[in-house]
Structure 1
């Protein structure tokens, strides 16, 4: 299973999102470091709307997602951009 699919599966299971987009941005980062060629799944963006974010600060939302995806980060995911929102909040996407 791909990194992208594992991230999506984990977040769907744990946060029951109304909306979820997991975007592989690895190709945009080729050459930023010698071992980052843009061919692997090294850079991901998560856009998520979940009721579980109601009442949480932006920092707490980021920590929630980061904690859930710690196994992916420990396994080599280099960068994770997180755009969390609660239902009804405006998003730029």
Structure 2
């Protein structure tokens, strides 16, 4: 079963309080999304560490309910 964009956004915001999250359904199929996440907690972390935090917030849904997620992460300027 595919996930809805708002569910992905809510999970990320729950796991990363205060994050600004924008989700885009890349193919309109509910399986391929892009997420842009800006989060103060990313300061000083590598890109891999930032992505790991986002994946952790998705609570194991990556690769199951959520097939593909292109991530763009950054700390606020």
TM superposition score category, shorter chain reference: 0.7 to 0.9
Q: Assess if the C-alpha contact under 8 Å between 1:3 and 1:72 holds in 2.
A: no
Decide which structure has greater strand share: 2
CA RMSD of aligned residues (A): 1.6
Pick the structure with more helix per residue: 1
Structure 1 gap ranges (5+):
28-39, 89-93
Normalised by the length of structure 1, the TM-score is 0.69
Moved over 6 A (4+): none
Work out which of the two has the higher radius of gyration on C-alpha atoms and give 1 or 2.
Answer: 1
Identify unmatched segments of 5+ residues in structure 2: none
Aligned to 2:55: 66
Q: How many residues in Structure 1 have an aligned counterpart in Structure 2?
A: 74
Q: If the length of structure 2 is used for normalisation, what is the TM-score?
A: 0.81
Please show how residues 1-93 of structure 1 align to structure 2 within 5 Å. 3-15=4-16, 16-17=18-19, 19-27=20-28, 40-88=29-77
Bigger RCO of structures 1 and 2 (CA < 8 A, at least 6 apart): 2
1:74: Cα distance to partner? 4.6
